[in-house]
Chains A and B, each alone.
Chain A
Amino acid sequence: MKNLFLILGLVFSISTVNAQIAATNTGGEVQTVQPKIMVIPYTKEGEDIRTVLEDDVNKRIAITKIKEAFDSRGFTTVDFVARLKASQSNSVFSAANKTDIKAQFIQMSGADVYVETEVSVLNSSNGNSVKIIVTAYEISTGNSLANKVGESGKFYTDDIGKLASKAFGTVADDFLDVMQNKFTEIVNNGKSLIIEFGFAEDSQYNMFSEVGRQGLLLSDELELWMEQNAYKNNYHIQGTSDNLMIFDDVRIPLKDQSTGNNYNPNKFALEIFKFLKTLGMEGKRDIKSNTIFITIK
């Protein structure tokens, strides 16, 4: 009898190991993970992204107006200033070069999309006007999602903030609509990833090593696998050399097609990892935003 209880207890404990904890269980309801969008100021060469906003109230107004537009569609953006301060306190920036700081900040922000905003003030004797250029980029691929130029028109006023607000108001809805069209394209055709295959220094393999049961080249095996597993067979190879193979656009679905759960680059990297094992190879995977780095040992 004691043994029976012991077995039952063991079975029960095993069956509950992978069950979702009660506090987070929603009964299978899945909320799609939304892209993180951050609005940042445009910086010229030599300008420091860390101080450019503090020096110019008009840029702050323009950025706030753009954030308001996203809010009006029920979408919350990542706060640039808060994220910048957090990055500074965490000593994220290592390079002394100011341009690198911008690139580092965008990479480390955790955002999927950033919207760059340029405000240009034109003063003249027959009135002042403001031009605003807004461009949205997908961080992982650098693809442009939407671009618009808004103009306030000429007014006899020194309230540049008001003019900036008016300039963005003329293009705000168009800008968001174009972005939304691109998001719809992502929902339908998958999210874009960059996948880089490289080798550890002491690796016995290179891209032209014959691997697997069929004796195909490693680069061919990788392409065949990608062809089979990229969402809707949508992938593109940037190039292949002895030691490197780069897929600059591999599409993965936003949702796991079998479970309906959210799907992410980490899960796709795991599948690549499993595939390498079937070829008898060991690998190391690093994931930075939407880029997967696979290092074959």
Chain B
Amino acid sequence: MTATTSTTTTTGRYAPKPGAAPLSRMIAAQAVLETKMLLRNGEQLLLTVVIPTLLLVLFSSVDIVDTGAGKAVDFLAPGILALAVMSTAFTGQAIATGFERRYGVLKRLASSPLPRWGLMTAKTASVLVTEILQVILLTVIAFALGWSPHGNPAAVLLLLVLGTAAFSGLGLLMAGTLKAEATLAAANLVFLLLLVGGGVIVPLDKFPSGAQDVLGLLPVSALSDGLRDVLQHGAGTPWGDLGILAVWAVAGLAAAGTFFRWE
């Protein structure tokens, strides 16, 4: 590549010329790499794309669960959007970060010029990019299934952002404290439990009233309920659900910040 001829004697090629790249370039490069790694991972794609899509199509077209009055897709689409956020911000991020920690990726990056907060910013950007792709895909499919959403897009955006923050905090808490294998198992288990018990495809009012109160406080319940209020019923800003998500976000991120171990 270089103009000099290749010899075994010194060419000054390795002469020190240290320096960090500009922060914006480092963070952008890191976000692109993280997103590539995420999209390349087959199991992650199953979780973030295949499962939400299948659930949306299946439960909208086959009458398995009683989703109440109105078209099934109007009930399901907001829940599936909540599930998509959870799959990326929580499950996917927890598993990926857990294995990055296990394989020394976080450790190696810690000695690169990229600061830790830069790494976390890049991770967040990567999660957001993936979510945007998910939302686009699922929205197109939902429209094809006859979805007719209402409501204020700003409220929807606010719910998605707070939901992402809440799930990221919990996912990183898990990835930074448990072994990678334990994170893998636990993150999938939690995904499954919240899928069933978090009002994603099964309305919460199918559960006993005592359980409803508790389940309603789960982040995925708050997110799907809030999205449903706005998108299905055209409600204004669902402050209650936003409040629940905010509490989870603050608690989860604070705990992750405190307990996260880098190796």
Q: Do A and B come from one complex?
A: no
